Structure 1
Amino acid sequence: MSEARNESSIESLESSRPSTPIVEETRPDETDMLGEQSSTPKRDQKPKTQEEMIISVATAVLEEKKDKGVKVAAPEPFDGDRKETRRFLTEVEIYLRMHPTEYDTDEKKCLFFLSYLQGKDTQAWKQRNTDLIFDWKDGDEKLEWKDLKSAFKKHYLPIDIKADAQLRIEEMKMGERADNYVNEFRVLADESGYDDEALAHIFQKGLPFILADKILNQPQGRPKDLNGWYEAAIRFDEQYKYAKAVQKPRRFQMANKKKKKFEKKETTVNRMETGRLSEEDHREYMKDGRCFRCAKQGHLSRDCPMKNTEKAPEKAVKKTPREAYVKIQAMFKEYSHEEQKELLNIMEDEGF
């Protein structure tokens, strides 16, 4: 914005009429002050108008800013993955174009490019071309930037880019996000040579079944073109993720001491129904001084008042869903309102 304002000021000043000239004060030559005649002829000092002086200063400021260059991201290093060849070349070209004064020779461009080759899959190729620069002798042909790019493409790009893109795009599957899938699909779509109808079919196959089903059964009907598929996939994916985030329970885990309060009551019911205690319940009962038979405190199981009132074990009869519901409801009502809320949270956390 500041550069645009400076340039606008310059243009407006150039188009305005010149004002009263300002004559710069000329200093007497040192030799004249000593009484000697200067051997250098004096140049005529042309008076500068105020507008010309402002233009001169503004131009200098603009040139200084241009010399500093525009900030642009450095390329991501290339490790030999052929799928990243085009991406790497593009990033290098952008960086060099945005720093013309810093990389103004073929040698600087080549060294910058080679410095971003990393890993064992690029080491041999990098070393061979670096030697062409550092071991150059008179009479040898210098390595030029265009030749290095051409050699790099020949070595790392697939021989048949179109066929390679077709194989890769047909194997693509959507991951966590639809927008990432769309971006990657578009890159390969441009290289594959397929028409939009074929690409829409391939794109649909790479979507999760639930997402593809939503797109096909939306009220307005299925998308009419490839861009419609892109937009619908991103839209429904974002809606799904938003709904999932909103419905996510706030409480993920109950404190152990709160859980035990319910576990003891549940254990009592289980004990009466099964007639057996688990090892953990056995230790808890001994610690609390509870009866192994009725789970109450104050007596041992051999002195339990319920000892003679127990009926002979009957064959368990499977309850109907309605009977099970009535029993669960009756058990649930035994708790206070606060305990009911905590119990519901536990059931939700456990996926009940």
Structure 2
Amino acid sequence: MSTPNPTGEARLSKPNNFDGDKSYARRFLSSCQAYLSLNERIYNTDKSKIIFILSFMQEKAAGDWATNRTTVALAPNPTTNTTTGFGTWVDFLNDFRNTFITTDDSADARRQLLNIKQTGTADDYNTQFRSLVTRSNISDKNALSEMYQQGLTRGLIQRIYARDKLPDTMEEWYQAASRADNLYRRLQALNATSTTTTSSTQRSTRFKNLFSTTTSSSPTPTNSPNRPKKLTPEEREKCMKEGHCLACREVGHNARDCTC
């Protein structure tokens, strides 16, 4: 939200300077009008609004145009002994549009719609497409839908067509593309994070430990305190000659029948 500064104007970025570049003319004028609307209590006359816009037109073709209008406006009128004046706000806007904004703007927008391509996110593409639709004056839903789909990336259009039901309105197309693209980018980010932080060896070890069944309640026979130590070759031969059990060292049975 904007706040007033000591001069009374709301704190909002002022328009960038305009040098006559027709590709920027519409955006420049829109930026000026937004600023003037927010500060309408200060710029409350046609003259103040016109001078505000002229102050940002100082270079190249725009500078020449602004200089000429200012010269004419301040020139003395011999008849009334006053200056000619800057004229009305409406006339100024019309002169600006006729000079810097192409007279066939709708046709230009239609040409751009035929060639538009998604180069970034679906949200960026939606913003650009909506702007061109507004300027083109096209209202045919089917024509707009076809141009919109042709501009989407192949991967994104395939994900949308994999749905049970295709979008019906342009607003549904915008939402479907935005959702599918955002989900895909989140998945890509997740996969990239998983690949860089967890190696296959780490995952294998983690799952191996998870399913381990080793317990400490059942010691193996080699850990039994009552089991005789392993026989040496000499002791083994002696036991066999004297008839001792190789398992418990007692006489009267062999290791196969030992129950000790």
TM over 0.5: yes
Match of residue 208, structure 1, among 150, 153, 162: 153
Aligned twin of 2:113? 169
Distance 2:134 2:44 in 1: 33
Aligned twin of 1:108? 48
Per the TM alignment, residue 78 of structure 1 is displaced from its structure 2 partner at its CA by 3.0
Structure 1 pair 158–229 and aligned structure 2 pair: CA distance change class (3 A): same
The one-letter code of the counterpart of 1:116 is F
2:180 is aligned with 1:236 = yes
Distance 2:105 2:67 in 1: 26
Whether the 8 Å CA contact 1:107–1:133 is kept in 2: the answer is: no
1:118-137 to structure 2, matched below 5 A, reads 119-136=59-76
Q: Provide structure 1 residue ranges, at least 5 long, that are not aligned to the other structure.
A: 1-63, 253-336, 342-352
Structure 1 pair 93–70 and aligned structure 2 pair: CA distance change class (3 A): same
The one-letter code of the counterpart of 1:114 is L
Q: Provide structure 2 residue ranges, at least 5 long, that are not aligned to the other structure.
A: 206-260
RCO comparison, higher one (Cα < 8 Å, 6+): 2
Aligned twin of 1:82? 22
Distance 2:128 2:39 in 1: 29
The one-letter code of the counterpart of 2:120 is E
Whether the 8 Å CA contact 1:211–1:233 is kept in 2: the answer is: yes
Which TM-score applies when normalising by structure 2? 0.63
Give the count of matched residue pairs: 191
Whether the 8 Å CA contact 2:75–2:84 is kept in 1: the answer is: no
Which TM-score applies when normalising by structure 1? 0.48
After superposition, the CA RMSD in angstroms is 3.0
Structure 1 pair 99–249 and aligned structure 2 pair: CA distance change class (3 A): closer
Aligned twin of 2:31? 91
The one-letter code of the counterpart of 1:143 is F
Identity %: 28
The one-letter code of the counterpart of 2:22 is R
The one-letter code of the counterpart of 1:98 is L
Deviations 1:163-193 (A, max 9, x none): 1111112121112111111111111112223
Helix, strand or coil at the partner of 1:68: coil
Structure 1 pair 193–136 and aligned structure 2 pair: CA distance change class (3 A): same
2:144 is aligned with 1:199 = yes
Per the TM alignment, residue 134 of structure 1 is displaced from its structure 2 partner at its CA by 4.4
The one-letter code of the counterpart of 2:186 is Y
Aligned twin of 1:183? 127
Structure 1 pair 124–250 and aligned structure 2 pair: CA distance change class (3 A): farther
